[in-house]
Structure 1
Amino acid sequence: MVARPNTTDLTIGQMFAAPPDSPSPSRLPVDLGVESGRRGFLRGLGGLFLGAGAAIAAPTILTNPADAAPVSAPRRQLSFVSLHTNEKLKITYFNNGTYDRSALKDVNHMLRDWRTGEVGSMDPKLLDLLHQLRLRLRTDEPFQVISGYRCPKTNAMLASKSEGVATKSLHMEGKAIDIAMAGRQLSRIRQEALNLRLGGVGIYSRSGFVHVDTGRVRQWGV
Structure 2
Amino acid sequence: MMNGNALPFTNRRTFLKMSVSAALSLLPISAMAVQTPEHQILSFYNIHTGESLSTCYRSHGKLIHRAVGRISTIMRDHRTGEIKPVDPDLLDLLHRIVMEINTSEPISIISGYRSPETNAALRRVTRGVAKNSLHMKGRAIDIRVPGFRTEEIRELAVDLHSGGVGYYPSSDFVHLDTGPVKVW
Q: Where does structure 1 differ by over 2 angstroms across 4 or more consecutive aligned residues?
A: 160-164
User: Partner residue of 1:195?
Assistant: 159
Matches within 5 A, 1:1-222: 5-7=24-26, 73-220=37-184
Structure of larger gyration radius:
2
Q: 8 Å contact 1:170–1:213 — kept in the other structure?
A: yes
Q: Which amino acid aligns with 1:148?
A: G
**CA apart distance, 1:163:** 4.0
- Provide the C-alpha distance between the structure 2 equivalents of 1:147 and 1:8, rounded to a whole number of angstroms: 25
> How many angstroms apart in 2 are the aligned matches of 1:100 and 1:144?
22
Pairwise CA RMSD of aligned residues? Answer: 1.5
TM-score computed with the length of structure 2 as normaliser: 0.80
Larger CA deviation: 139-148 vs 158-167: 158-167
Mind listing any 5+ residue stretches in structure 1 that lack a counterpart? 10-71
Percentage of identical aligned residues: 44
Please give the TM-score of this superposition, normalised by the length of structure 1: 0.67
Deviations 1:55-101 (A, max 9, x none): xxxxxxxxxxxxxxxxx932100000011011000000001331001
Q: How far apart are residue 218 of structure 1 and its match?
A: 1.2
- Give the number of aligned pairs: 155
Higher relative contact order (CA 8 A, sep 6+): 1
Q: Does the CA-based 8 Å contact 1:8-1:106 persist in structure 2? A: no
1:159 is displaced (CA, Å) by 1.6
2:9 matched residue in structure 1: none
Relative to its length, the structure with more helix (as a share) is 2
